[in-house]
Chains A and B, each alone.
Chain A
Amino acid sequence: MIPGLNNLETAAWALSAALRIFLMVLLVARRNHLRFPFFFLYIAATLLHGLEIFVLYRYLGFSSTFVRGAAWGMQGFVVLFRGLAIAELCREVFAHYAGIRAFIWRVLAVLVTVVMVLAMVASNDGMELRILHANRAASLALSFMTVAILLFARYYFVRVSAPTRSLAVGFFLYSCFSALNDTVLETLLQKFSALWNFLDTTSFIGCVLIWCWAVRSTVPEPAAKPEMIRADTYNELSSEMNRRLALINDRLSNFSKGRARRP
């Protein structure tokens, strides 16, 4: 048994670790680790993080400052890999669309930064909770990022393959749960701390199951790259459309203000 954890928590922890190992084997067996290398590394990082915590808690206990620092430090790497794995989904979805992909990268970079800053600003000022705040801010930012990728795909009529969609849903659910869990832990710290790890582990088990389902078979390669149009075609049509849309809106605005006039 792991020190400090009851039987149920230990069972959940062991099940989570076993499922992650199974997922990694599945990724390699279906050769999906080549399509999603950062996802593979993310799962490996979570496994290493679990192992690190096990060793630290078993031999150094819970109360040491060093243990807390090491555990949260590794958690930072895990969150970083989660971000990279989600970015990889964006690359996968928009692989053939260089123009909108570059545009979406720019938007996502701004979005993630803004959400991180807002989430940190909205946090309490307690020094001891600063890492928790950062973890929550990152989780919220990654939730936004995942939804934004799917929204952009819908907006530009880009089809997202079923495995990629399932991977995105798994990341979204875990990021949301993580943000919520951190907030509850912060606000109801005393009552909730015993449950925190257990809920975190069980939510992660749910997401790992979704991911296992997503990569149960080899993810098909994109069929072919569509023929692209020239950049000046876009420039001409796009600016013309925007100009006309602006004119239409001016007309409608006049109507709203009751200043009807002939065109």
Chain B
Amino acid sequence: MTPLLYIVCGVIAALVVLLFWSLRQPRAGRKKLWPLEDPARSNVQYFPQIQQALTSADGEFLRARGGAALARVVERERRKVARDFLRGLHEEFNQLLRLARIIASLSPKVVTLQEFERVRLTALFRWRLQVIYVRLALGARSALEVQAVSDMISRLTVRIESAMRELGERASVAMELASTLDRDDLNVA
């Protein structure tokens, strides 16, 4: 066996994994897309409670009144809630990305740089979100940054929704297609 043979075998193994992944059926439990303007479905509305759960003052109050053991239990539960909240934000973020991809696929012209930029930014977002998960698991109180992320996603949602309203009927075609994604994929072929 030579290094070249190892390299070729490795490349082919990676390609086989990618092939299987690309042929995989979409997840059955994929969440239905909800209208972007529907605030009741957004995770952002729960931010005040999450912020409260992550503030150190609240934790100190609990320790003083209920004892260290109770404070630890509550802290653990609150972190779990914060993680669930971040997962919800991630889901909203993914929903926006799906919409962006549908808009790109329905456009007669696509800007290469913008498409690559989105892929890069998405990869960065996912990586950094994982870092936040780890820091939360290690005990960091990240209320401020969770709020920042939450606000940004919220504003992005509102901005896209208002832009689509401004763009009228043509944009609503994309929204309608997006809302049927969980029933079927985009192609009519």
Pick from A96, A107, A239, A262: contact of B187, CB below 8 A.
Answer: A96
In the bound assembly, the distance between CA atoms of A227 and B118 in angstroms comes to 24
Contact at B188–A157, with CB atoms within 8 Å? Answer: no
Which residues of B101-148 are within 8 A (CB) of A? 101-112, 114-115, 117-118, 121-122, 124-125, 128-129, 131-132, 135, 142, 144-145, 147-148
B189 engages A223 (CB within 8 Å): yes
Using Cβ atoms and an 8 Å threshold, which residues of chain A touch B22?
147, 150-151, 153-154
Interface-centre pick from B125, B135, B149, B187 (highest chain A CB count, 10 A): B187
Q: Quick check: is B167 within 8 A (CB to CB) of the other chain?
A: yes
Alpha-carbon distance between A229 and B142 when the two chains are bound, in angstroms: 41
Minimum CB–CB distance from B153 to chain A (whole Å) comes to 7
Nearest B-chain residue to A220, judged by Cβ: B189
CB distance from A170 to the nearest CB of B (A): 12
Partner of B121 from the list A95, A156, A246 (CB cut-off 8 Å) is A246
Do most interface residues of chain A lie in helix, strand or loop, or is the interface mixed? helix
Q: Would you list which residues of chain A between 122 and 155 have a CB under 8 Å from chain B?
A: 122-124, 136, 140, 143-144, 146-147, 150-151, 153-155
Contact in complex: B151, A263 (CB < 8 Å):
yes
Q: Which of B8, B109, B111, B186 contacts A156 (CB 8 A)?
A: B186
Closest Cβ of chain B: how far from A111's Cβ, in Å?
12
Bound Cα distance from A249 to B156, whole angstroms: 13
Partner of B144, one of A228, A245, A261: A261
- Quick check: A245 and B125 within 8 Å, CB to CB? yes
Bound Cα distance A234, B105 (Å): 9
Say yes or no: B145 contacts A255, CB within 8 Å: yes
Number of A-B residue pairs with CB-CB distance less than 8 Å in the complex they form: 232
> Known contacts A147-B19, A158-B186, A233-B170; is A251 also within 8 Å of B148 by CB?
yes
| Interchain nearest-CB distance for B87 vs A (Å) | 15
Q: Could you tell me if B105 and A100 are in contact, using CB atoms closer than 8 angstroms?
A: yes
Check B145 against A244 for contact (C-beta < 8 Å).
Answer: no
CB distance from A256 to the nearest CB of B (A): 5
* CA–CA, A246 and B31, complex, Å: 25
Q: Which residues of B contact A233 (CB under 8 A)?
A: 103, 107, 167, 170-171, 174
Asked if A179 is at the interface (CB within 8 A of a chain B CB), the reply is: yes
Closest Cβ–Cβ distance, residue B55 to chain A (whole Å): 13
Whether B105 pairs with A97 at a CB distance below 8 angstroms is: yes
Of A43-51, A180-188, A205-213, the one contacting chain B is A180-188
Q: Contacts A176-B16, A233-B170 given: A157-B114 contact, CB under 8 Å? A: no
Question: Cβ of A235 and Cβ of B16 under 8 Å apart?
Answer: no
A167–B171 CA distance with the chains assembled, in angstroms: 35
Q: Are A124 and B4 in contact (CB under 8 A)?
A: yes
Among candidates B21, B107, B145, B171, residue contacting A99 with C-beta atoms closer than 8 Å: B107
Q: Which of A98, A183, A260 contacts B108 (CB 8 A)?
A: A98
Q: Which of A209-227 contact B (CB under 8 A)?
A: 220, 222-227
- 6 contacting pairs across A/B (C-beta < 8 A): A93-B187, A100-B105, A157-B186, A222-B188, A234-B104, A263-B151
Interface residues of A (CB under 8 A from B): 93, 95-100, 102-103, 106-107, 122-124, 136, 140, 143-144, 146-147, 150-151, 153-161, 165, 169, 172, 176, 179-180, 183-184, 186-187, 220, 222-231, 233-242, 244-249, 251-256, 260-263
Closest 9 CB pairs of A and B: A234-B107, A252-B128, A159-B187, A255-B145, A150-B22, A157-B186, A222-B189, A245-B121, A99-B110
